[in-house]
Structure 1
Amino acid sequence: MDRAAVTLDDPVSIGGLRLRNRLYRAPLLECAGNGPDAVDTLIADLEPAAASGAGLIHQGATIISGEGGCAAPGMTRVHDPAFIEDLSRLTETIHTHGARIAIQLEHGGLRSMEVWHAGYRTEHPDLDQLAVSRPPWPLRLLDRVGFLDLSPHVLSTAEVEELAADFGRAAARAVDSGYDMVHIAGANMGIVQQFLSPFYNRRDDRFGIDPDVGAGVAFLELLAEEIRERAGDVPLITKVPSERPTFPGIGPHLTDVDAVRVCERLEKAGYDGVVPVRTSVFWDMSVVRGEFPTAAWREPRFRDGYREAFGSLPRAAAVAIGNWIESFAYDFEPGWNRSLCRRVRERVGIPVLCEGGLRERAEMDDTLDRDADLVGMGRPFYAEPELPARLLGEVDPGVRAVCENCNNCAVAQAAGESGVCRTPSVLMHAGRLRKHGAYDRSASTNDDGRL
């Protein structure tokens, strides 16, 4: 499909929702929870990106259920109508700055804390995990040696349909509270990826692997039906994984070809945009490529959290060793999803969103010219909450985020720590930029955002 060359500053529409530019804050763990300060925490985390000019802000993975399903400590749940009604304060704040906000809906399934977090499992001994099928052998092996604690509840067909309805109900509550878009968390080993992936999905009902696609796409198709029925014509997007980064010998898994086919089916199912990503079948450093987070693992104040999460300090050390090995397999690669996005963009007529390793303005414009319709960043916002102010407008095309991809922001979240930059050199760099006014911006408020 021929498309005119665009830049980061150009507006774009997704499902009738007009965005003032093509830069978005990708979903991150805000670690806000559901306590009395949760909404204020979310506003503090997300408002700076809107105020500094980003077109679209994502609230990170938000759990649809009131029990289980959280993949990490501090995740926010949206099962409670009273709580999500209070989230209208967040959406109103984002809209004040002329930006739009999406909520990413998630359920962890076999990635949930009741599988891997020892302290959480002790507090919830009777809490089973929702499973698409019997867990694959690598997870059963880790359970046998004590690194995981599996007690899976394999969903019946009726329970799958009810789970989809839970997504629809959560979406409806979100739309009533002012969210402009719904984003299904379709990757990072959440339950939606588990439905898609032949590594996890060995069902023999209609939610099994579709041989014409190579993936279990029926669950995502049902989610679209439920969300449309309950939440109306809200713009709907999802991540779509290729599991190509999976270590050799582990499979079967989704290929790039499978991911392209899934995106084609989802366009027909009514999705308004897709976010193609390459991630393995495990929750590992294929998600956050970069350096081994040495400082975070060695930080004494996190040790109690690691002990609680992994059961003991020796087990935490074993996890750290595995993390170190992964850092060699998943070294940082600028724009590591670009070629997959390009393949999808050539086959679909809906917007393609690209994230993963984009750091420089010129690189983003090139991505928009060749590979995608919007570009996003995640971890760099931990160090620079107002990063869009430096990237948008008449700027040097060589301007780039100060993030060094060290991952010290991410691994500590397993210990219940918030997602913030903890690397002194990065924070000093951002501090110098702030001192010289690099983040000063008067973001104008546009129209109501809809065509």
Structure 2
Amino acid sequence: MTDLTDPVSIGGVEVPNRLYRAPVLECAGTDERTADILADELEPTAESGVGLVFQGASIVTPEGGCAAPNMTRVHDPAFVAGLERVTEAIHAHEGKVFVQLAHGGLRSMSTWHAEYRQRNPEERQLAVSRPPWQLRALDRAGLVSLSPRVLSTDEVYDLAEQFGRCAGYAVDAGYDGIHLSAANMSLIQQFLSPFYNRRDDEFGDGPSDPPGSGGVRFLEAIHDAIREYAGDVPLVTKVPAETVAPGFVRRHLSFADGVRIAARLDEVGYDALVPVEVSTFWDMSIVRGAFPDRAWAASDLQSAYAAVFGGRLRARAVELLNRLQARRFDHEPGWNADFCRAVRNRVDVPVLLEGGLKTRAHCDRYLGEDGAANLVGMARPFYAEPRLGTRLLTGHDALCERCNNCTIPQVAGKPGRCRTPSVVRARGRLEAEGAYERNISDGDGTDGERRE
């Protein structure tokens, strides 16, 4: 039986245990403060014993592509070199850190963020194909603003090469691996998805190709570029199955499509896979759980929401949609487990499971007799407890209530942090009791001298 504290290898990099911090928004920006913000955010996680830390989605282009405010860009080698402060901080605690590379495509802020669009009126979204009619209808209704620029074949190759260059910068700065954002309506998912991808070149699905084939060819081009610029660095990607797409979306990636794509990426040479069941849109399928009443009602955020969504009425409309979606999506712990299990039965590389996990029992179940995954990860629970690893690795459970009050303020550029008083108070009590002080031991984290 695999235990959470057992080591594991990803692409030749030895990770000290099976627990990872899944990529989330750090809202660290791209300036002289970024390295300090990222180190302050991520080092406590490594210090608490978490074996693998994923730095959240970092944009590979010098403009556009940000799906939320204050995302970090990694196109500039001089800037990325300064992030060595982050990798050194994590390595000091024997942890490993991978950076997630991303581009938002049609999910970019110029589509949905009214204030950003006013500041950047000429910006156009990179598009795989002409946007689907559903998005064009929202554009005509004034709910989003589409100004797409469909990538030519040469531009697709250029973009793949840009992913490779950024991976090379990251490796030079000490990052141990690369993670690709290929879900949550990212540009890579848009290449994989038949809902978005109607291309008629080699990056589209031909008449005899199964869904997602063109996107796999894009991921193959990214793989080859990363190998050219960054060598044999471990390469991980999310693999989407669009099983929770709305009923009006007829063309999407099925469960079987996702398994087939995962098997093909294993053959291409990806070193680990993160299967996720998602929608075709950026919606509550990403952060399932309770409707975030407290965050939407926060008096200090009302003007910010109005600026983001183009007025108070539109902000209220988004809030209502958020409320409806919170009821729609199943949020049982480990909601990606069935998909992970099916993928694990088809591939020879590690499979990573995330989605609603918050207890040690969940971790043990999916690593053990259930056999769904080789590693298990959490995201929002680390907003509530940055040093959560100490407690999870010694058999305790996360405090996170999956209330989502940490996520909605991020559309207004606020940092990810727990805003639920009962959870904040509970963490304070645990801190006072010394519950986050890590033990130095010979492997299981339960005995030995305390690290102050």
TM normalised by structure 2 equals 0.95
**In the alignment, does 2:13 pair up with 1:17?**
yes
**In the alignment, does 2:102 pair up with 1:103?**
no
Tell me how far 1:426 sits from its aligned partner: 1.0
Structure 1 CA distance for aligned equivalents of residues 345 and 416 of structure 2: 35
Q: Could you say which residue in structure 2 is the equivalent of 1:248?
A: 247
Give the letter for the 2:425 counterpart: M
- Summarize deviations over 1:364-392 as a string: whole Å, max 9, x none: 11101210000000000000000000011
Structure 2 CA distance for aligned equivalents of residues 444 and 390 of structure 1: 14
Worse-superposed segment, 148-157 or 244-253: 244-253
**In the alignment, does 2:287 pair up with 1:267?**
no
Identity %: 56
For the 8 Å contact 1:213–1:262, the answer to whether it is kept is no
Q: Could you say which residue in structure 2 is the equivalent of 1:172?
A: 168
Tell me how far 1:156 sits from its aligned partner: 0.4
Structure 2 CA distance for aligned equivalents of residues 212 and 351 of structure 1: 27
Q: Could you say which residue in structure 2 is the equivalent of 1:408?
A: 405
Q: Could you say which residue in structure 1 is the equivalent of 2:436?
A: 439
The DSSP-based 3-state class of the residue aligned with 1:83 is helix
The DSSP-based 3-state class of the residue aligned with 2:429 is helix
- Summarize deviations over 1:236-266 as a string: whole Å, max 9, x none: 0000011101121213111110111011110
Structure 1 CA distance for aligned equivalents of residues 160 and 440 of structure 2: 38
Q: Superposition RMSD on alpha carbons, in Å?
A: 1.2
Q: Could you say which residue in structure 2 is the equivalent of 1:295?
A: 294
Structure 2 CA distance for aligned equivalents of residues 53 and 195 of structure 1: 36
The DSSP-based 3-state class of the residue aligned with 1:328 is helix
Q: Could you say which residue in structure 2 is the equivalent of 1:75?
A: 71
The DSSP-based 3-state class of the residue aligned with 1:92 is helix
Give the letter for the 2:353 counterpart: C
TM normalised by structure 1 equals 0.95
- Summarize deviations over 1:15-37 as a string: whole Å, max 9, x none: 00000000000001000001221
Structure 2 CA distance for aligned equivalents of residues 426 and 331 of structure 1: 23
For the 8 Å contact 1:24–1:57, the answer to whether it is kept is yes
Unaligned runs of 5+ in 1: 447-451
Q: Could you say which residue in structure 2 is the equivalent of 1:375?
A: 376
| Structure 1 residues 92-241: aligned runs within 5 Å | 92-209=88-205, 211-215=208-212, 216-241=215-240
Structure 2 CA distance for aligned equivalents of residues 156 and 214 of structure 1: 20
Structure 2 CA distance for aligned equivalents of residues 300 and 154 of structure 1: 40
For the 8 Å contact 1:143–1:150, the answer to whether it is kept is yes
Structure 2 CA distance for aligned equivalents of residues 138 and 409 of structure 1: 29
Q: Could you say which residue in structure 1 is the equivalent of 2:337?
A: 338
Tell me how far 1:139 sits from its aligned partner: 0.9
Give the letter for the 1:214 counterpart: P
Worse-superposed segment, 150-159 or 359-368: 359-368
The DSSP-based 3-state class of the residue aligned with 2:62 is coil
Structure 1 CA distance for aligned equivalents of residues 55 and 440 of structure 2: 20
The DSSP-based 3-state class of the residue aligned with 2:37 is helix
Tell me how far 1:430 sits from its aligned partner: 1.4
The DSSP-based 3-state class of the residue aligned with 1:237 is strand
Q: Could you say which residue in structure 2 is the equivalent of 1:449?
A: none
Structure 2 CA distance for aligned equivalents of residues 13 and 390 of structure 1: 23
Which of 19, 31, 34 lines up with 1:35 in the alignment?
Answer: 31
Q: Could you say which residue in structure 1 is the equivalent of 2:61?
A: 65
Give the letter for the 1:296 counterpart: A
Structure 2 CA distance for aligned equivalents of residues 400 and 136 of structure 1: 43
Structure 1 CA distance for aligned equivalents of residues 303 and 319 of structure 2: 15
Distance 1:37 1:20, change over 3 A: same
Distance 1:442 1:335, change over 3 A: same
Tell me how far 1:116 sits from its aligned partner: 0.6
Tell me how far 1:425 sits from its aligned partner: 0.9
Distance 1:435 1:137, change over 3 A: same
**Segments ≥4 residues shifted beyond 2 Å:** 209-213, 442-446
Structure 1 CA distance for aligned equivalents of residues 311 and 232 of structure 2: 48
Tell me how far 1:115 sits from its aligned partner: 0.7
Structure 2 CA distance for aligned equivalents of residues 191 and 251 of structure 1: 20
For the 8 Å contact 1:237–1:271, the answer to whether it is kept is yes
Q: Could you say which residue in structure 1 is the equivalent of 2:349?
A: 350
Structure 1 CA distance for aligned equivalents of residues 360 and 205 of structure 2: 40
